[in-house]
A and B are shown apart, each in its own frame.
Chain A
Amino acid sequence: MIRVSQLSKQFPLPKKKRESTPDPREDGRVFHAVRQVSFHCAAGEVLGLLGPNGAGKTTTLRMLSTALVPSGGSIEVNGIALEKESLEARRHVGFLSGSTALYGRLSVRENISLFGEAHGLRGAALNSKIDALLERLDMTSYAGRRVETLSAGMKQRAAIARTAIHDPKVMILDEPTTGLDILGASVVMDFIRDCRDRGTAVVFSTHHLHEVEALCHRVAIIQRGTSVFEGSVDELRERGQGDLATGYLACLD
């Protein structure tokens, strides 16, 4: 499970930026990208992180994935304090984004293998795991192909396999269906369902409310870096008198 408490992230403002029209999140020489955001996601639960563009969703997820170091607050992954043991925490976290960030000049197998080896998997155990993942994602015949030659959908499948190679207990997904066609998006949706069924805690950001409706147990909404809602999907729907979109919009200014 993952527990986020009072999470904050500040960025120093460049000189030019400080001179321009101030943003409410600007405070002197710093920009508060995320301010005291809290939520939690239990094992086998899917949490949808919603919010308008620039709300701070990606910054939040980057902190959860350990790419960014929080300025304040705490993140606990499976009982591990992320700020103290980030290397250990990474062994329990998988991260997937819309931009697959795969190595184009490496093959699908090499991409997955790199991450598997970095997580301590070796030899036959690694190979059989890669084979199983590729089969599950119906891309065994693409294993030896360079990623740069694949379609967007196939790249996303390869990225999923790479993310899941070390069986993370917490899965972080940043707008994973962006730019995908219906088939590609459904593969991602199936992956999230699969993670949920296997007892993985899944936190994913999206702009598509139908994905939230189909997958999420709980929802956290961020606006201008601050939490404006945290609760179940039903609670959000109630705010909109039975309509999820209305409930979502009601949470925003």
Chain B
Amino acid sequence: MWIVLLKELREILRERRTLIVMLLVPALLMPLLMGGLGALGGMMAQKEMNKPVPYAVFGAANSPAFANALANMDGARQIPLASPAGIAAALADETILLAVEIPAGFDADLAAGKPASVKAYYNDAVSVDVVGKRLKTIKDTLATEVRRHYLASRGLSAAQQDFASKPFDITVVSSANERERLGEMIGIFLPYILLMTSISACMVAALDTGAGEKERGTLESLLLLPVSRAHLVLAKFTAVALTGIIAGAVQVISMAVWLALASHIDGMAFLATILSGIGAREFALIALLVLPANAIVAAILLTVSFIARTYKEASSYSGQLMFLLVIPVALSMLPGMKLASAWAWMPVTNISLAIKEVLKGTLTLSGLGIVLLSTLLASVLLIRVCVHLCQQEKVLFRS
């Protein structure tokens, strides 16, 4: 078996596609992609926040203060419109991004202590609601001013006005520490990235060692070695699982390195806090959790690869299977998902949840035990199925 395993590893290490998915993607491409997307997202959001807001106002005379606030809004540029009837068209062709109608008697109503309302027209179906934010700033500022005048006119002192504006506050004393908060934050996506990297690497290796060998005809010559078929399958399974484990390990190390580097960038110091909480023990725990996950994935993908008639067919099946394997990982990203109750027994989902707990520093021994036990049981079962199926003539010689 070891001779065959060594052969498998040699082949994997000489295959460009596997090397790219196993080493290059987790070490460079994934961090660059994530960092790049993050930076791009930040830049785009900043650009949106700074963009000019052409606007039209009707009834400015009804509230010079409101009209003045609009004119002083960031990026404000007033566009004259003939009548409110043209608002919809102007918003549609983006001549303006905001139109405000101030009704007659607006200021008079406020002065008399009557509630009043202006109409604002804009498109709020956007990812960054710049117009809404600027309008809210205007509203908050003017409302504070109006409230102050109103209360002062009623003879209230400044302290009484403050009380009337904000009678009480809630001071939050969090039971979570900084590490837990950050762990919860990065724990949402780190297991996903980690498991997807491993699954991708396993897939490429499984395709090559199963359907690839079948297609190239080399599988038949392997079957002639004085090695039992069960051992042949186990050697191939180990090679596939190892590929996933190596990819996962590279991913963890590269993320640590990239996070450490990124923590020196202005405004990213919080990354150092995350890293300070993840020591050798946490890395070891994550590795321990990823091991059986790879066994599960390797067994499934190798079986599919052997069952397929050709490499192309295996690729197609594996591609579909990736979506199925993503589901348990994605489940762990849902709000409120915790490593408790039945979810602790759900393979792959529980690993993802457990990695989050490791990052938060809240993984209990019993939680770890349940995750390892359930994953181990699932992987042993799947390996047995894989070995059983891959020994069958109808599978090996299916063409």
Which of B11, B14, B15, B224 contacts A90 (CB under 8 A)?
A: B224
B223 at the interface (CB under 8 A from A): yes
Q: Known contacts A67-B220, A68-B397: does B10 contact A106 (CB below 8 Å)?
A: yes
- Which B residue's beta carbon lies closest to that of A116? B3
A contact residues around B4 at 8 Å (CB): 118
Give the CA-CA distance A48 to B303 in the complex, in Å: 38
Complex-state Cα separation, A115 to B227, whole angstroms: 11
B340 nearest CB across to chain A (Å): 47
- Interface residues of A, count at CB 8 A: 29
Smallest CB separation, A199 vs chain B (Å): 21
Question: Known contacts being A68-B393, A106-B10, A110-B10, is A101 close to B225, with CB within 8 Å?
Answer: no
Q: How far is the CB of A82 from chain B (nearest CB, A)?
A: 12
- Expressed in whole angstroms, the Cα–Cα distance for A110 and B397 within the complex equals 26
User: How far is A12 from B395 in the complex, measured between Cα atoms in Å?
Assistant: 12
Contact of A103 among B11, B226, B228 (CB under 8 A): B11
Within 8 A of B (CB), among A105-138: 105-106, 110, 114-115, 117-119
Given A68-B393, A105-B11, A110-B10: A118 and B220 within 8 A (CB)? no
B216 within 8 A of A: yes
Interchain CA distance A146-B394 in the complex, whole Å: 32
A114 with B217: CB separation less than 8 A: no
Q: Taking the complex as formed, is B139 at the interface, i.e. its CB lies under 8 A from any CB of chain A?
A: no
Is B72 an interface residue, CB under 8 A from the partner?
no
* Contact of A87 with B by CB under 8 A: yes
A12 touches B224 (CB 8 A): no
A178 CB to closest chain B CB (Å) equals: 12
CB of A38 closer than 8 Å to a CB of B: no
A77 proximal to B (CB < 8 A): no
Chain A positions near chain B (C-beta within 8 angstroms): 12, 62, 65-69, 87-88, 90-91, 93, 95, 97, 99, 101-106, 110, 114-115, 117-119, 146, 162
Contacts from B to A (Cβ < 8 Å) = 3-4, 7, 10-11, 14-15, 216-218, 220-221, 223-228, 393-394, 397
